[in-house]
Structure 1
Amino acid sequence: MTVVGLISNRDETNYRSEVSRLAGWCSDNNLSLNVEKTKEIVVDFRRAHTQHVPLTINGATVERVSSTKFLGVHITEDLSWTDNTAALAKKSQQRLYFLHKLKRARAPPPIMYTFYRGTIESILTSCITVWYGACNASCRKTLQRIVRAAEKIIGVSLPSLQDIYGTRLTRKALCIAGDPTHPSHSFFSLLPSGRRLRSLQARTSRLKDSFIHQAVRKLNSLPNLPPRPPSASGTTEL
């Protein structure tokens, strides 16, 4: 369970009220909220950092951390993906050992390719649409070296992480743009011409490299935008 709160103008009232409502909901539904396992991470890019009062739940102080693991993705307070890259690289390199064992056992390339797709590529591309666009060049090279090592072992050409990212980004963007009920659907609004999506403004490269901005640019780079599904009123959106 995750609670996300936006603190603006140094007013933490809404954030702390949301946490209190969560604690109350757990109590009302006979659920025990383990504060010792609860972590708080504060993302703040301002030059003058504000000292936030420790968060408390039922009188116990919540531990504040600089990084945490959420659904398999390592998230840090500066939203850099170095820790996540290191974790993926370490886990993938361990799987290369078993690929070497298959090579020594003279397994045919199709078998090794299937093993690579299921045990190594699946790790390297886990939630790739979330972090790959914001990765620096060093992180991308680190992960791509593992792909090249697997290529030498198997003896066949493997899809690059950049290509996999582009394919999955397009598929995910089309899914959101075609689903009016999706929370992010409003970001994919068409211009009056109906040929391109409205570009999103971004004052920082961090925001520009985020998923939504990259997804909009990716769809605008397609030769033709896909047709929009019928709306709830039965008419087709153009």
Structure 2
Amino acid sequence: MTNDCRPRLRSNHILKYADDTTVVDLIRDNNEAAYREEVRHLVDWCRGNNLILNVKKTKEIIIDFRKSRPTHTPLLINDSAVEVVSSTKFLGVHITDNLSWSPHIFSLMKKGQQRLHFLSRMKRASLPPPILQTFYRGTIESPLTSYISIWSGSCRASDWKSLQRVLRTGEKITGAPLPCIKNITDRRSPDPHRPQPPQPWTVFPPGVRQKVPQHLLQKDQTTEQFLPPGHHTLNAT
């Protein structure tokens, strides 16, 4: 369990997903003391929990838009310098040090074009259009629109055209109109004027639990909510 692996300072953030851990820090006035102390704390935590950090796979990316950047002192982990990169892949999203989404869009377009080949082979096999559309929606449209609410706001016009070419090719193969990618963006992007539904649960910090009242977990209500109707019919017979 990594629940006790938390940042020591408020300016730092630790993002954990499976076996990947990312340390994010906002550095002000060229003072990297808090950032480097957080990394040392993470290394000590891993050592105390019998975990080994792979320094060769550890990368550091610096996002700095100043014209004159100061000299960066290498970050050391176990006496080994961490490689500084200009782009990295975080949970399937390509992030660059200039926050350009063109590499990410190119990766999406390349993946979509590769899967269009399988879609055209399915059409040559005389599969019906509904199956072709289902294949497109599940294997091409889904990755094209993943994290779209993040990168769509600062995407270049040339990148949109690249994605639209994949869409038009899919329409030619399936023989039916497909949802426009920009319309999907508008549908998924949060609208500040749209009323949000009430949230029945409150997000608590790590280590804090809440006891659910028993009257909210009645047996009949829970069973009808989580079990499909076919389950009740089978039990009744």
TM-score range, shorter chain: 0.7 to 0.9
Asked whether 1:126 is paired with 2:146, we answer yes
Asked whether 1:91 is paired with 2:64, we answer no
Corresponding residue number in structure 1 for 2:93: 73
Corresponding residue number in structure 2 for 1:58: 78
Asked whether 1:9 is paired with 2:9, we answer no
Q: Tell me the secondary structure at the aligned position of residue 69 of structure 1.
A: strand
Asked whether 1:161 is paired with 2:181, we answer yes
Deviation string, structure 1 residues 127-151 (Cα, Å, up to 9, x no partner): 1112121111111111111011101
1:42 to 59, 62, 87: 62
Equivalent positions of 1:210-229 (< 5 A) are: 218-220=191-193, 222=194, 225-226=195-196, 228-229=198-199
Corresponding residue number in structure 2 for 1:198: none
Q: Closer, same or farther in 2 for the Cα pair 1:231/1:82, shift >3 Å? A: closer
Q: Closer, same or farther in 2 for the Cα pair 1:5/1:92, shift >3 Å? A: same
Q: Tell me the secondary structure at the aligned position of residue 3 of structure 1.
A: strand
Normalising to structure 2: TM-score of the pair? Answer: 0.73
For residues 159 and 138 of structure 2, what CA distance do their matches in structure 1 show? 22
Deviation string, structure 1 residues 22-77 (Cα, Å, up to 9, x no partner): 10100000000011110000000112222211111111100000001111111000
Give the letter aligned to residue 127 of structure 1: Y
**Greater Cα shift, 121-130 or 91-100:** 121-130
Q: Tell me the secondary structure at the aligned position of residue 107 of structure 1.
A: coil
Give the letter aligned to residue 22 of structure 1: L
Give the letter aligned to residue 19 of structure 1: V
Asked whether 1:110 is paired with 2:130, we answer yes
4+ long deviations beyond 3 Å: 226-232
Q: Tell me the secondary structure at the aligned position of residue 149 of structure 2.
A: helix
For residues 154 and 24 of structure 1, what CA distance do their matches in structure 2 show? 55
1:30 to 50, 58, 61: 50
Q: Closer, same or farther in 2 for the Cα pair 1:100/1:231, shift >3 Å? A: closer
Larger Rg: 2
| Percentage of pairs with the same residue | 54
Q: How many residues align?
A: 182
Give the letter aligned to residue 156 of structure 1: A
For residues 102 and 231 of structure 1, what CA distance do their matches in structure 2 show? 45
For residues 104 and 230 of structure 1, what CA distance do their matches in structure 2 show? 50
Give the letter aligned to residue 226 of structure 1: Q
Corresponding residue number in structure 2 for 1:152: 172
Give the letter aligned to residue 132 of structure 1: S
Q: What are the ranges of 5 or more consecutive residues in structure 2 without an aligned counterpart? A: 1-20, 203-237
For residues 227 and 106 of structure 1, what CA distance do their matches in structure 2 show? 45
- In the TM superposition, what is the alpha-carbon distance from 1:226 to its structure 2 partner? 3.5
For residues 74 and 143 of structure 2, what CA distance do their matches in structure 1 show? 35
- In the TM superposition, what is the alpha-carbon distance from 1:106 to its structure 2 partner? 1.3
Normalising to structure 1: TM-score of the pair? Answer: 0.73
Q: What are the ranges of 5 or more consecutive residues in structure 1 without an aligned counterpart? A: 171-217, 233-238
Q: Closer, same or farther in 2 for the Cα pair 1:107/1:227, shift >3 Å? A: closer
